[in-house]
Chain A
Amino acid sequence: MAPRRPRGRSLVALAVTWPLIAVAACTGEPATAPSSDVQGQQSFADDRPARDGGQVTIALAEEPDALDPSLAGTFVGRIVFANMCEKLYDTNSELQVVPQLAADMPDISEDGLTVTIPLREGLKFNDGTPLTADAVKQSIERHQDIPGSSRTAELSSVQSVDVVDPLTVRLNLSEPFAPLTSVLADRSGMVMSPRQMDRLGADFGDDPVCVGPFDFVERRAGESITLQRSDDYYDADKVHLDQVTFRIIETGPVRAANLRSGEVDIAERLDTTTLEQVEADGSLRMYEAGSIGYQGITINVGNTGGVERPFGQRTVPIAEDPRVREAFELSLDRDTINRVAFNGRYDPDCSPIAPNNPMSTEITCSERDVARAKQLLREAGVQTPVQVELMLNTDPQAVRMGQVVQQMAKEAGFAVKVRPTEFVSSLELAEKGQFDTFQIGWSGRVDPDGNIYDFHHSTGANNYAGYHDAELDEMLEEARSSTDPTQRKEMYADIVERLQDELGIIYLYHENLYTGASSDIVGLEYYGDGLLRLKTAGLAQG
């Protein structure tokens, strides 16, 4: 998921996709029509009760990194955490932030500098020790201080943590930061057992202990992660399964094949090319969720020397003149891209905020208009065809998309050169500003600040576009310090409109996340954040 990390080895995936489809097609399987736009949560009208016990095997699309909330940086690691490491806050099916280990939403002072969090009573870590405010303080401080921490940026506004009483924690901020609550609904809000932190120190990820429906048992590198039901969990009576095993199957078609053969019970993030086979299989169910992330094309406007240097202005047509960028956008038909490259399975859009996000607002995206595009290029006085290099990932979906973009843009007067680049190399080139345009996405954060600030603020770490505008900077800063949700929603509506004018990033679509599961499984929760929640999952009785 992440910034479009290629799922599965590109060469293998490319080669294996078509033969499997060819053979499957030859065997005359009935095709079911893809479901309509999916937003929010997929639920099945299923009254079947779950029996007690049993175990479930889940195929993950990648291997997680360290199972240490302070160090972890992968999306797929969060799926494992969702089942063994609860947080102060969580996201519900409506993508709203709700209390999980906290007793209530935080009490934020008038000036926004003090955040007081009440904790639930009587909670125990999976090693039996009690959850107290001290544990929360120790966890947050560890998130901030441990070498190699991935949480420093998002917790940078937290100056200190106070223990008010055993069930109350107070965070003192250096400046108001509205997204903090949603930050605490991710890894920064995960509370770790102090006893285990003291025992293992930096090796906490070797045997993590948190509060969760399941407890970590073992991990085999590149192979599997096993969790088992926790007796110390506060809601243990709602948990049905005895054991959950995560296996790593990176190649998309292989993941789908293992789901169909019954080798695994659940397979997350199925490739769009494998969806029909899974949907046609009566013993399987498809869970869909609209992702909170986005995919688009980032245009290098001002990243002349790398993201850590002051931005300048690139002197190529597409960087210099917003009319050229607008012409580029007008040459693209988002619906066609979706149809051709993604079997119509994704949601075309022109905003970084997904429609299922409570903070999103109605928006009209531009339709394809080649005539207008040509006119804009004439007005801009640029020589056609305008040379554009499009860097993208090497997996088949991305390459397909690049080719569609290339063809469409050609008609308007752009000569697009598609440059498939290995993922990590492409990130480095993007950071250094050594690219023209880059097809990249973001797995998404519940708070819209998480989808926009880092990419458009002049100090943003992910601002590959090198976009720097004092006015936009101010708008972003105001939106993140305001504590009034209604006001923030309006501010983001203005910001998105502004982004549409400037087009440092041409937003194209939001992915839909498809997880296939055996129809024996009930109580599985799957929301727009793409995390598989197995707290109440079980195998159907009878």
Chain B
Amino acid sequence: MKRYLLKRIGAALVALWLASVIVFAGVRALPGDAALALAGEERSPEALAEIRDKYGLDEPVPVQYVKWASLAVRGDLGESVRTGLDVTQTIIDKIPITLELAVLSVLVGVLIGIPAGVFAAARRGGFTDYASNAIGLAGLSIPNFWLGLVLILFLAIRVQIFPASGYVPFLEDPIGNVYHMLLPAFVLGSGLAAVIMRQMRSSMLEALDTDYVRTARAKGLSERSVVGTHALRNSLITVVTVIGLQLGLLISGAVVTEQIFVIPGFGNLIVAAVFQRDLPMIQGAVLVAAAGYIIINLLVDISYSLLNPRIRIAGDAA
């Protein structure tokens, strides 16, 4: 077990290092002279030279990398070139916001998609089925930024039920926090709900056609028990996998949703940093995101090995 663990952690560290190199090089490959972006309107040759000097933009890239990496390892990701604020602290402040949005969106997607899918499958061919299909199709095709703006227009401007934008920290005001997140979570979760609904429906239909369900029916179990317990439980496995796959899209969807609802989250942070050529911020944020994925992957691998002895043993032996 230990050998397997060490190997996986070692691989993760290598992946992290590679990610840092790619991020660093990639950011410097962005078209457009970073010094021009950082100079704002005052772009005299003297000002540009000062900026290049101050941020070491003229130094050889490997040198710049070593300087940055040696601080990053200690958790110091530098200062935002745009605002002067600490990059690490800014990222720490923003990640929970986007995570909350993502989690709430998944909740919305699940709370709408699963029941809808179950009913569509249970009443297959009926009106509910067709209606759900139509709504599902709409949910998939409607761009979330359009949906967001329309909802703002009708629910925040014409009738002022929801706020048009903003974010309130959870610890400051839990109710205000959720209140501000409702529309954004709905907008972001609607696409996910559509996908879940369709997947749920087809998994259920498959499950309802299997031998064990036929057996359950033959045994005289109620329809509710057949559908709600047996078919549902087995369909959920595929749906959970689908949710996992959709999470990546959720993060990118969060970027646009954050723009529409002016949520100061992680997505907004990266987009702004790229347009401003805020090199330390881009590097820091993308590195943190990459680290997040690598760590999650590592944990999943480890949990697989814990759950399945064969993987563990094979890993040790290899």
Contact = CB atoms under 8 A, between A and B. Distances in A.
Contact of A74 (B40, B50, B256): B40
A130 interface: no
A15 interface: yes
B190 to A, nearest CB: 16
Between A222, A262, A426, the greatest number of chain B beta carbons within 10 A of the residue's beta carbon is seen for A222
A340 interface: no
Contact of A461 (B43, B275, B277): B43
B160 A262 contact: yes
Contacts of B146: 15-16, 19
Interface in B148-179: 149-150, 152-153, 156-158, 160, 163-167
13 contacts: A16-B260, A19-B150, A73-B47, A147-B50, A219-B85, A221-B85, A251-B260, A261-B163, A263-B156, A427-B43, A428-B32, A431-B36, A454-B44
A260 interface: yes
A312 interface: no
Interface string B196-213: 000000000000000000
B42 A73 contact: yes
A261 B146 CA distance: 17
Contacts of B36: 424, 427-428, 431
Interface in B262-280: 262, 264, 268-269, 271-272, 275-277
Contacts of B43: 427, 431, 461-462
Contact of B153 (A24, A77, A153, A154): A24
Given A24-B153, A422-B32, A151 B42 contact: yes
A206 B80 CA distance: 11
B90 interface: yes
A64 B41 CA distance: 12
B40 A2 contact: yes
A461 B44 contact: yes
Given A9-B275, A23-B153, A257-B153, A427 B44 contact: no
Nearest to B40: A73
Contacts of B31: 422, 424-425, 428
A257 B42 contact: no
B143 interface: yes
Given A12-B145, A63-B272, 4 more contacts: A72-B40, A223-B264, A260-B164, A461-B44
Interface string A404-423: 00000000000000000011
Interface string A493-525: 000000000000000000000000000000000
Nearest to A203: B84
Contacts, number: 176
Interface in A30-77: 63-66, 68, 72-75, 77
Contacts of B167: 223
A123 interface: no
Contacts of A257: 149, 152-153, 156-157, 164-165
B260 A254 contact: yes
A253 interface: yes
Given A424-B37, A425-B31, A263 B259 contact: no
B259 A63 contact: no
Contacts of A260: 157, 164
A12 B160 contact: no
A428 B271 contact: no
Contacts of B54: 147-148
B51 interface: yes
B83 A63 contact: yes
A254 B165 contact: yes
B45 interface: yes
Contact of B259 (A23, A149, A251, A443): A251
Interface string A137-154: 000000000011111111
A205 interface: yes
Interface of B: 31-34, 36-47, 50-51, 53-55, 80, 82-85, 90, 93-94, 143, 145-146, 149-150, 152-153, 156-158, 160, 163-167, 256, 259-260, 262, 264, 268-269, 271-272, 275-277
Interface of A: 2-3, 9, 12, 15-16, 19-20, 23-24, 27, 63-66, 68, 72-75, 77, 147-154, 156, 203, 205-206, 219-223, 247-251, 253-254, 257-258, 260-263, 307-308, 422-428, 431, 443, 454, 461-462
A73 B160 CA distance: 38
B267 to A, nearest CB: 11
A16 B260 CA distance: 9
Contacts of B164: 257-258, 260-261, 263
A16 B149 contact: yes
Contacts of A250: 259, 272
Nearest to B167: A223
Contact of B272 (A222, A254, A462): A222
Between A9, A152, A257, the greatest number of chain B beta carbons within 10 A of the residue's beta carbon is seen for A257
A308 B46 CA distance: 11
Contacts of B45: 307-308, 461
A24 B269 CA distance: 30
B149 A66 contact: no
A431 B31 CA distance: 13
A263 B272 contact: no
Between A63, A148, A427, the greatest number of chain B beta carbons within 10 A of the residue's beta carbon is seen for A148
B149 A427 contact: no
A6 to B, nearest CB: 8
Given A219-B83, A262-B160, A73 B153 contact: no
Nearest to A64: B83
A2 B43 CA distance: 12
Contact of B163 (A77, A263, A427, A461): A263
Contacts of A149: 47, 50
Contact of A20 (B34, B84, B149): B149
A399 to B, nearest CB: 17
Nearest to B154: A23
Nearest to A12: B259
A206 to B, nearest CB: 6
A68 B81 CA distance: 12
A74 B55 CA distance: 18
A313 to B, nearest CB: 22
Contact of B160 (A74, A77, A261, A425): A261
Contacts of A151: 42
Contact of A263 (B83, B158, B165, B264): B165
A443 to B, nearest CB: 7
Contacts of B42: 73, 150-151, 153-154
B51 A148 contact: yes
A425 B167 CA distance: 33
B129 to A, nearest CB: 30
Given A206-B84, A222-B264, A2 B41 contact: yes
A153 B84 contact: no
Contacts of A428: 31-33, 36
A222 B163 contact: no
A257 B85 CA distance: 29
Contacts of A308: 45
B138 to A, nearest CB: 15
Given A147-B53, A258-B165, A73 B262 contact: no
Contacts of B157: 257, 260-261
A153 B149 contact: no
A174 to B, nearest CB: 15
A426 to B, nearest CB: 8
B41 A23 contact: no
Which 10 residue pairs spanning A and B have beta carbons closest together?
A73-B40, A424-B32, A153-B44, A150-B42, A261-B164, A223-B264, A425-B32, A148-B54, A461-B44, A425-B31
B259 A66 contact: no
